[in-house]
Chain A
């Protein structure tokens, strides 16, 4: 398996534009997580899905952020409109069901710069 695949790797956009980040989890994994990493706040969980259903979105900063998982092999994180303070590295991760907590496998991340 190629692991968790994220695209794009880098995104530079102007303030006010819509940004869509994409993620393909590891096949067979039932959990998908979106994290944001910044120098200010470290690694923060934004939202996670179980079997394509959003379970906890309490980490989503505000209504400008939305995430979807239309099927087991694809998820998107959208920011509209984007702001400079959204600049960060966004990671997608997935994990299998094992009957308890387990490790999450991370993608390479998308570095977002909003100017």
Chain B
């Protein structure tokens, strides 16, 4: 029979616009959260992280927001560029879990010129 693959959510944005990618996690004990970027043919690369004692953290062109009440995480990319086109994964872990991370299914970001 025909296999059914994961349907990756896709976000299409115009170059220069801001992008917002969302993620939900399920483990209430998670106290560490990471966003990874995966380009075609490569392994996931770290973008930014945040710990549960924070609700916002900013990096270069990226901001991560954490809402522990609803177990929601978002990644904001300012002035999106063609090089930002990739699949973005959130991952969560907890200090008692031995550095073990649980990954979300990912969001495909497409930047249109």
Q: How large is the interface on B (under 10, 10 to 19, 20 to 34, 35 or more residues)?
A: 20 to 34
Segment at the interface with B among A14-22, A60-68, A70-78, A102-110: A102-110
Contact of B99 among A42, A91, A101 (CB under 8 A): A101
Q: How large is the interface on A (under 10, 10 to 19, 20 to 34, 35 or more residues)?
A: 20 to 34
Which chain A residues in 14-71 approach chain B with CB under 8 Å?
A: 31, 33, 35, 38-43, 45, 48, 50, 55-56
Contact of B98 among A42, A48, A108, A109 (CB under 8 A): A48
Which chain B residues in 34-76 approach chain A with CB under 8 Å?
A: 34, 36, 41-46, 49, 51
Roughly how many angstroms separate A33 CA and B43 CA in the complex, as a whole number?
Answer: 13
Segment at the interface with A among B11-19, B77-85, B88-96: B88-96
Report yes or no: B102 in contact with A45, Cβ–Cβ below 8 A. Answer: yes
Report yes or no: B5 in contact with A91, Cβ–Cβ below 8 A. Answer: no
Chain B residue contacts of A40, Cβ below 8 A: 3-6
Roughly how many angstroms separate A105 CA and B59 CA in the complex, as a whole number?
Answer: 18
Report yes or no: B32 in contact with A107, Cβ–Cβ below 8 A. Answer: no
Chain A residue contacts of B49, Cβ below 8 A: 102-103
Contact mask for chain B residues 15-30; partner A; CB cutoff 8 A; 1 contact, 0 none: 0000000000000000
CB within 8 Å for A42 and B97 given contacts A101-B31, A108-B43: no
The 6 closest A-B pairs by CB, nearest first: A106-B43, A39-B5, A101-B32, A101-B93, A43-B103, A100-B95
12 A-B contacts (beta carbon < 8 Å): A40-B5, A40-B6, A42-B103, A48-B98, A48-B100, A93-B43, A101-B95, A102-B49, A103-B46, A106-B36, A108-B42, A109-B43
Show the binding face of B for A, using Cβ within 8 Å: 3-6, 31-32, 34, 36, 41-46, 49, 51, 89, 93-95, 97-106
